[in-house]
Amino acid sequence: MLKEGVILGERYEIISRIGSGGMADVYKAKDHKLNRMVAVKVLKPEFREDKTFIRKFRTEAQAAAGLSHPNIVNVYDVGEDRGVYYIVMELVEGITLKDYIDRKGKLSVKEATSIAIQVSLGLEAAHNRNIVHRDVKPQNIIISTDGKVKLSDFGIAKATSSNTISSNVMGSVHYSSPEQVRGGYSDYKSDIYSLGITMYEMVTGRVPFDGDTTVAIAIKHLQEEIESPSKYTPNLPFALEQIILKCTQKSPDRRYNNMAELIDDLKHSLMEPQGNFVKVTPLSSHAETVMVSAEELSQIRSGAAAKANAQTAEEPAGLYQEFQELRLAMLSHYEEEWTTENLCQMANMEKSQFYSYYKQFFSSTPHSDLIEVRLDKAKNLLTNQALSIGQTAEICGFSNLSHFSRYFKRHCGCSPREWQQQGGRKTQNMR
């Protein structure tokens, strides 16, 4: 934490800390060169240690500095001073959209639509410059005191995406597109998906996918169908609901082609709230979904070793993507038997080396991740379906009923039978 009065770059005098996140602390500062107040985002120490990340971060931040739009928090400068890396931005007095939603619970249709349009205009300007945000969420949207809506933190997510410590900033997983959580290529259509999740939260007061762990949430983005927002907001206009559902399609091809199309539909929805003008490509016209398929799993199993072998032990940032793909394949097929030997073989590593990287990347073990996902599925099955305890254990990948019961009680605070009898109302006893 920087002290009041510290000067960065012989120019920016720290006044006070005004915010903090997973990656950085944000300070109010005075730019003595241009005699104006600014916001200075300072990277936390753990992010300063990875040179690859720093290089990507500076490159992306500099690209974002070229953006100038009323709905974007403008970046003025990027610098380093005595090992402290910082970004100088426009100082926006106001409240984040996340805090605003928390205060109001749900936003009105007109207000939510207005905010969505303004964010979309900012994203459109960025996309036209071939800049993808990759971390659109209410925490990165600011509503100024004069009512303007501004999107912040361009470029940071891209730098983070291939970093060894990206698991530390997985708070964004609630808003991440399926292709992002799979570790695959993401583009402007990922921004559209994340904006759709943000719109969902604005009108319902909740996110569509939640869970006890980031892994559980990621799997839901991959495999679970999104519930219609009208389930939680019965009076939600049909047009806006269809817009949200189109934005949040799992297949990028079924989302809006660009921000201009989305903006047009949002404006149209204000004039014709119950109109049936939103066009969604029928699912039947697509040969495959975005879920991890059996074929993909087979390819990962057969090809992961060769891909991992192309990376050296000195390149953990490169290995991260390979490990992420392996992990998501494992957790998408949690019901299968995953042995330490198989995982190490897929990664082409010795056991000790494999576990070292896994722990470094995800701060967990394959076993603990599998147990978390299996138990999450078991809780849902026991609550919503008339299955026996044994059937539930088998479906969720537990070959031993006593092991299942022991893990369940340890994690959930009650036995599977007690959970089933109480209809899942033992949640207060969970860790």
Give the residue numbers marked as catalytic. 135
Reported as type and span, the H/E element at residue 195 is helix 188-204
Q: How many whole angstroms separate alpha carbon 210 and alpha carbon 128?
A: 33
Q: Are 274 and 238 in contact (CB under 8 A)?
A: yes
Torsion sign over Cα 418, 422, 424, 427: negative
Q: Which residue has the tokens 């990028």?
A: 252
> How do strand 24-31 and strand 12-20 relate by DSSP bridges?
antiparallel
Max CA distance (Å), the chain: 71
CA atoms within 13 A on the CB side of 418: 10
Q: How many whole angstroms separate alpha carbon 293 and alpha carbon 298?
A: 9
| Distance from the Cα of residue 154 to its chain's centroid | 15
At position 94, the amino acid (one-letter code) is G
Instruction: Determine the 3-state secondary structure of 89 from DSSP.
Output: strand
